Chains A and B, each alone.
Chain A
Amino acid sequence: MKRNHVLCGSASVLALLLAGATLVQNHALAQGGGAQAPRLDVDPLWPKPLGNHQILGSVTGVTVDAQNHIWVTHRGLDSLGGNEKGPTLTPPASQCCFAAPAVLEFDQPGNLIGHWGGPGQGYQWPQAPSGIAVDSKGNVWVAGAGVDPPPAGRGRGGPGGGRAEAPAAPVPGDAHVLKFSRTGQFLLQIGAPGKMEGPDSQTTLNRPTMVAYDAAANEIYVADGGNRRVVVFDADKGTYKRHWGAYGEKPGDAPSGPYDPAAPPPRQFRDVSCVKISRDNQVYVCDRRNDRIQVFQKDGKFVKEAIVSRTTLGDGAVWDVAFSSDPQQQFVFVADGHDKKVLILQRGTLQQVGSFGDGGRLPGRFYAVGSVSVDAQGNVYTGENLEGKRVQKWLRR
């Protein structure tokens, strides 16, 4: 398997040399029987540099809209280290960098064509935005998942590294999702920061991570991570419709303890880090640190589950999922941030048939790949959280 990779790598370099100007590497490889996994090559020069000394913070959401535009959310300034936000300090310490606006819209060539985000009238901008979704009416949904406690570790240069800063005043934890027009005009807020009434609440959320829109019913599905449930609201009025936990059961908020690959699958979600709806009306839910995907009907009836990379501990293997662009959506791409790759599953069987990427900071490598989305041509976009701070495009071959 390893040798195949190397061979394939050499072949690609050879092709690259022959082609002269092509800049691609890192193929996705079919790793076993069954359907042929799609092959994807990184495009190292996408998107175009933002300019104005603007950079991405930790990327928390990537999605593709009906116009094939790519939308990105990231954590901005609060995720930048002291020594990568010099001009924002008092006094200014350096020429670079500024955080790009929280919501970014790119066209297919990678030009930044829209950007907005931040506090405004009538709503509370999240402490840290999480997932982003653009519904079929062109409205943009942003989940507010807040921030984890700062990681322990070597201070130099990491988040909070560099010059010491005064600790920020406590901010009420994010517990809401927001709906905007595609130009950033506020439309609706569900939930409110700091207001968390548990997994049976019909009006509050707890660190939601992502939303998915169902055009048929005009409903919005919320991955309500802190409440370990999926909760559904009317997409215009924000009124409660229904909710469920793992296996379609009542969600609980008892502590789970650490994930144990040898233990039977827990009856509760540990995380709900994504929710996506397939064309055949199945609801896919990422249970990140349980390394599993659960699939439901739209009414919450449990259909099936798959454990993906069962032995992965730490931050877990199932951070986000996206479906391939073919009409049958034959494949599911799984952003496995802890193992630093995107896994390719056959959607019917949820068996792994390939993967792409590996750990590192070079093009085509990942650190904390946590977001994945697919455009109309089958190209894949990935977003990297933590210190990855990138969006990468993978070309469908």
Chain B
Amino acid sequence: MDLRRRLANLDRLSGGTAPPAPVDTEAVRRSLSLETRTTDAGSVWVRRQRLHLPPPRTLPSLQGFFARDPGPAAEPGDLLFLDTETTGLVGGTGTLPFLVGMAWWEDNELVVEQLMLPGPGHESALLAGVAERAAGRPIVATYNGASFDLPLLRTRALLNRRVDPLADHLGWDLVVPARRLWSRRLADCRQQTVELHLGAGQRTSNEVPGAEIPAVWFAYLAGDGHSRLEGVLRHNRRDMAGMARILLEVCRIAGELQDGAATDYTDWRDAWSRGRISEQRGDMTGAAAWLRQAMAVTDEPENPRLVADALRLLKRNGDHGRAREVVEAALGGGLDESWLHREMAILCEHRLGEPETALAHALLAGDDRRVARLRRRVAGTDPQRKEMPCPG
């Protein structure tokens, strides 16, 4: 019996799949209006478009927005946006990027350049194309790229025996500032959710949704048609523009934090987020001010994470009166937890000189040593005790 029949007999998973048909790649390229770019490593398809999306005048310091040091202040021209569309999300060496979108600011416009593989054998050319655009732009901005796109390109470079085109670049992963700014308000921080929040319209039906993208590429390769590839290109271009918009918003907020100007936040959670970022930037006064604002307008004074942040920052700033108000509001809002009573006991004992109140909260906190000490103090039997707040 021939091998093929034995294979079919043994391979119980097979059945019903038609073998792939040959593909006229040149016809596909023309119908998608893609150019061919020849590099030192072969050829790749390319599409370039200019979007009316002007850059920020300058880039403010983005300290405090990223997990890692974003580096010294940069120019808009230093930035390369990058996003890949791949054959899957499973990781490992079997996933390849078949479309790499890149964008940069040039003449007040956002130039989007998309490199697409005519077939998997053209990866080397694609990587050469990325290297070409990455040269001279020291910062690569991605959305979730630190854990996905950048390691992927590193792996692909290795497999194609090329130098990683982004090895020396500073990575700005925009998912980090997005989380820091909006995770308190949004159900999730996926790029599309954030874009919607920032006022972008819904994605349209002529874009292919992310989850369907690998299948579109496989269908093209198998000769089942390429009509949906245009939708993948659109999806990718939209992602590039979306990233630029998110960065613009991050820069706007950073600029205001930098200048200390009042920002037009619309929600107490925005004030809270700005407070946390100010804290990350080392601006403790600003941070405390943001948390005061957040507490002043919040409709969740009992939110434990908010209360903890506000207490920490207000105390650090020496604003013990406000700290007390925060605790009272939280207790009034129903956050009846022992750590909060303990905070109140400490404040009243050491900062506000109210041993009776401190004792009441120490009892509620179940803090026996403090209770004993405060009882002696209230009874006037604590000769050691000085009426001075202790440091720290």
**A and B part of one assembly:** no
